[in-house]
């Protein structure tokens, strides 16, 4: 087997070990594919039609992520370039973070941390840091895939009523939003899900509701979210992703009832190493002429 692989900086060493053991040469560097037969890229890399048109020798684009909205799949298909992702391995890590954001937003943990660090805590006060109950409340999960179902498993430990919504399952979205105390988003970013949650949806939610998003930022109309939080249409939000990442909608960072994280849903040592390994294994299979385990296009 022969072939040269371009690996983006930041990919864990687990991927490099897989490539080395397979006898493949690789370069770690900027997003380019001159002379490369395979690309191991990140979700922050924009792999568009123009980029792919300049790399007809590519035999695979291996994305170290589950989502592939950063890749023009139609252009890749038209050029006969396979695209793969890394499903399954980040389910638990992302579900854990989703529930952590839910708890942090409900119990005002980010505010509490800033308050103590800023010297504000001078003793117990019965009116200080009042948040929202989680146990026994209703959790609406939008997206009934692996991560959504994993979040549902965690919710059962808090005796929550779980509403699961997808195109083929559960109550209509409008009903879920009206009934839920917490809404957690777990759908892929597509033309149909872009701005799935906007002004009309916030108007249907409870004033005490909390929104959690660990999926993709553009699923939420971020400007509408800022308005909904300012006007008290919903109570709080926990966000790991943003509409125009890494930029935030004006006013979002100033809202104390929002918990913000820098897209760290899969950011555990074990999970990131497994993602890197799976991406590299997809490349090895492609360059060997074998079926690609996680081919999506």
Question: Residues with catalytic annotation?
Answer: 216, 245, 263
- Give the number of other CB atoms < 10 A from CB of residue 289: 8
Q: Token pair of 223, please?
A: 């400007």
**C-alpha 84, offset from chain centre:** 17
266, 54 contact by CB (below 8 A): no
Dihedral through CA 2, CA 272, CA 88, CA 157, nearest 10? 170
- How many Cα atoms occupy the beta-carbon half-sphere of 20 within 13 Å? 7
Please name which of 219, 225, 213, 228 lies closest in space to residue 261, comparing C-alpha atoms.
213
Its sign, for the CA torsion 145, 211, 256, 159, is negative
The C-alpha atoms of residue 259 and residue 262 are separated, in whole angstroms, by: 10
Minimal CA–CA distance to 100: which of 220, 216, 239? 239
């Amino acid at each position: 087997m022969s072939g040269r692989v371009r690996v983006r900086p930041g990919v864990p060493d687990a991927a490099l070990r897989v490539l080395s053991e397979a006898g493949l040469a690789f370069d770690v560097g900027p997003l380019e594919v001159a002379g490369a037969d395979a690309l191991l890229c990140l979700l922050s890399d924009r792999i568009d039609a123009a980029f792919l048109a300049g790399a007809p020798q590519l035999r695979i684009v291996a994305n170290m992520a589950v989502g592939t909205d950063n890749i023009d799949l139609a252009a890749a298909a038209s050029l006969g370039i396979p695209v793969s992702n890394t499903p399954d391995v980040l389910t638990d890590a992302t579900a854990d973070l989703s529930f952590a954001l839910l708890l942090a937003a409900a119990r005002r943990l980010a505010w509490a941390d800033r308050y103590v660090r800023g010297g504000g805590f001078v003793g117990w006060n019965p009116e200080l840091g009042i948040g929202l109950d989680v146990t026994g409340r209703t959790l609406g999960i939008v997206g009934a895939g692996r991560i959504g179902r994993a979040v549902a498993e965690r919710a059962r430990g808090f005796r929550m009523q779980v509403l699961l919504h997808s195109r083929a399952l559960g109550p209509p979205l409008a009903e879920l939003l009206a009934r839920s105390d917490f809404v957690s988003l777990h759908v892929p970013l597509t033309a149909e899900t872009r701005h799935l949650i906007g002004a009309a949806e916030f108007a249907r939610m409870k004033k005490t509701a909390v929104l959690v998003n660990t999926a993709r930022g553009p699923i939420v109309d971020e400007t509408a979210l800022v308005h909904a939080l300012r006007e008290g249409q919903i109570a709080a939000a926990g966000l790991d992703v943003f509409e125009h990442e890494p930029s935030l909608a004006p006013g979002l960072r100033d809202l104390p009832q929002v918990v913000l994280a820098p897209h760290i849903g899969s950011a555990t040592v074990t999970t990131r190493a497994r993602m890197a390994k799976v991406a590299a294994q997809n490349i090895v299979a492609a360059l060997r002429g074998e079926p690609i385990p996680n081919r999506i296009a």
